[in-house]
Structure 1
């Protein structure tokens, strides 16, 4: 095995480990969200998670996208993401209308249902990267940061087409797409990695001490400056400051991620199942009245343990075998129809 292929293998292992750790934080954050206004400890944990988990998830997505961005593989991935979006937007909307009844939800294919913004934005990130493919890396990143700042000035609701989050998180997709694992390993040697891990935990403490007034809307990335109450012409500077916080928090969290192959790595290959299905679990818990029984640290700890356990459960091979047609629907029939249409037009 060459040194380059060895680095690629180690990089894949590292990012699969990271992907699993991130989906744990996604599930945990969504599980504790109904309680963050009542329990300060959960609010602190929620803020800490949001300081890094979406930027890093987008970065990981960009890293894995570079092997399937162009040509036939890229078109197939775009079709599959689009089909996943249609399927789960329909399922979540139908269940919300009949069972969940979540407040402030727009039932439209142009307004992604809660967590499904990521699918809509993923399509856009891939298309944007294709459009920037002839640019230099510096130009791509400069455009991404500029667009991420500029989108906040639009006078519209940022949820439509997931336009706000698409551009706010575009810089992290670009960074992930060009990420050099070799350079990262050289930098994150034993002591640096340990310092970064300690910094991530210190950030959690700092948020607990100083972050009580940290406006979560800035970390969500889904709202324009107008919606955030920042009407000043220089509101974009606040977005740059948030980028700085997210970048530092993300670098620190990477220190917690193991390099080695483990059971976590295998679970990291099936995080899509956790991502698309965990919303059903959380919403079912909410309507069941479960949260009415959680009012102390012990109950909160059990809730978090349950979130971790459900994450592991949904990432099991058996779940993939059972729900593969739903979560990873085949698009070969769409490709065949397209080819047939092209042949008829010739």
Structure 2
């Protein structure tokens, strides 16, 4: 039992470290997006980030979800996700109409605003896992992969309800839910971990040097095969191939993640604040016109440094103290009302 508790604690530390490193890549990727059409190196970095950061973020979310999937804890998390979605969908949409004015945005509660797709999909992943609760792990993974491939054939805009990304990234949530940290550490011994880290860095170097022309919609996971220009009946094979690339890139990136406790571990506990708030900073930077001065290597490096520093800043305890009611709105009152209503029901 003591060994299991120790292993669980080590696993939590590892995944908190990973979660912080991933939120850094999320912030950095969104910050450099306006530069990728002008700088091949930034385009390569962007592709490297998108080859693993969303799959791994979903995997981490699935890993931590197993403690709060069912019962009262699961109900509370779903209610809180719903509140977060409504609050930030309203805030981002209001600011977009008045200030950001981003092209191609559907202002509807049924169309998540940019990064908020993750909240909508997270709620769906939890509900889908509850529906698959009696299935074996292999059956859940098989269904998730099949659904992820099949959703690309639907002739609907995947933005609505975040339906496309929900199913495209469902396999990673299921894998994270069943992830065995013990098996992982047995596999990722020092030499293997070092080789994986080197492979990730090499992959970045190759992408930065070659900047391959892969339609980014494949990496986003929010478009149909037809929208991606792959109208063939076998287009699903391309997504299967992309799954293989993403898994390889993710396994390589895991080699960069430290096992030990550090400040990064503590910052990893508050990545939700970075995730929900960083979009305001990125959008404000875009409308400020600052990107017109950042079209060179020095400017790009300064932008990346600023993204890292802002990530650390938003992960500070003070930010949580100030913005806790906004980012983690209380939902106890909703549960109390629900119980009262049930007691009054004959």
On whether the aligned pair clears a TM of 0.5, the verdict is yes
Work out whether 1:127 is the aligned partner of 2:132. no
Cα distance in 2 for partners of 1:30, 1:339 equals 42
Partner of residue 137, structure 1: 137
Q: State the Cα distance separating 1:214 from its structure 2 match.
A: 1.7
Asked if 1:271 is matched to 2:271, the reply is yes
Partner of 1:42: 42
Tell me how far 1:211 sits from its aligned partner. Answer: 4.3
In structure 2, distance between residues paired with 1:137 and 1:324: 35
Equivalent residue of 2:58, what SS?
helix
What is the distance in 2 between the residues matched to 1:143 and 1:295?
45
TM-score normalised over the length of structure 2: 0.99
Aligned to 1:6: 6
1:276 to partner: Cα distance: 0.0
1:298 match: 298
Residue matched to 1:284: 284
Measured in 2, the distance between the counterparts of 1:290 and 1:209 equals 26
The residue number in structure 2 matching 1:171 is 171
Contact 2:68 2:77 in 1 (8 A): yes
Q: Deviations over 1:215-263 (max 9, x none)?
A: 2110100101111111000000000000000000000000000000000
Cross-structure match for 1:104: 104
Offset at residue 202 of structure 1 (A): 1.1
How far apart, CA to CA, are the structure 2 residues paired with 1:289 and 1:73?
44
Question: For the residues of structure 1 that align with 2:90 and 2:180, how far apart are their CA atoms?
Answer: 38
Q: Which residue number in structure 2 is paired with residue 51 of structure 1?
A: 51
Equivalent positions of 1:1-346 (< 5 A) are 2-346=2-346
Q: CA deviation digits over 1:64-108, x for unaligned, max 9?
A: 000000001000000000100000000000000000000100000
- Give SS of 1:109's match: coil
Equivalent residue pairs, number: 346
Runs of 4+ off more than 4 Å = none
**How many angstroms does 1:205 deviate by?**
1.9
CA distance in 2, matches of 1:52, 1:87: 28
Using the alignment, how far apart are the partners of 1:340 and 1:229 within structure 2?
53
| CA deviation string 1:170-189 (max 9, x = no partner) | 00000000000000000000
Q: How far is 1:206 from its partner?
A: 2.2
Query: Any gaps of 5 or more consecutive residues in structure 1?
Result: none
Deviations 1:11-39 (Å, cap 9, x if unpaired)?
Answer: 00000000000000000000000111011
Contact 2:199-2:252 at 8 Å conserved across structures: yes
Deviation at 1:207, TM superposition (A): 1.8
Equivalent residues of 2:55, 2:172 under 8 A apart: yes
SS in 2 for 1:225: coil
| Residues 302-335 of structure 1: per-residue CA shift (max 9 Å, x gap) | 0000000000000000000000000000001110
Q: Distance in 2 between matches of 1:210 and 1:44?
A: 7
Provide the rounded CA distance (Å) in 2 between the counterparts of 1:182 and 1:4: 9
Gaps of 5+ in 2: none
C-alpha offsets along residues 155-179 of structure 1, whole Å, 9 cap, x if unaligned?
0101110000000000000000000
TM-score when normalising by structure 1: 0.99
Q: Give the superposition deviation at 1:209.
A: 4.0
Note if contact 2:155-2:224 (Cα within 8 Å) is conserved in structure 1: yes
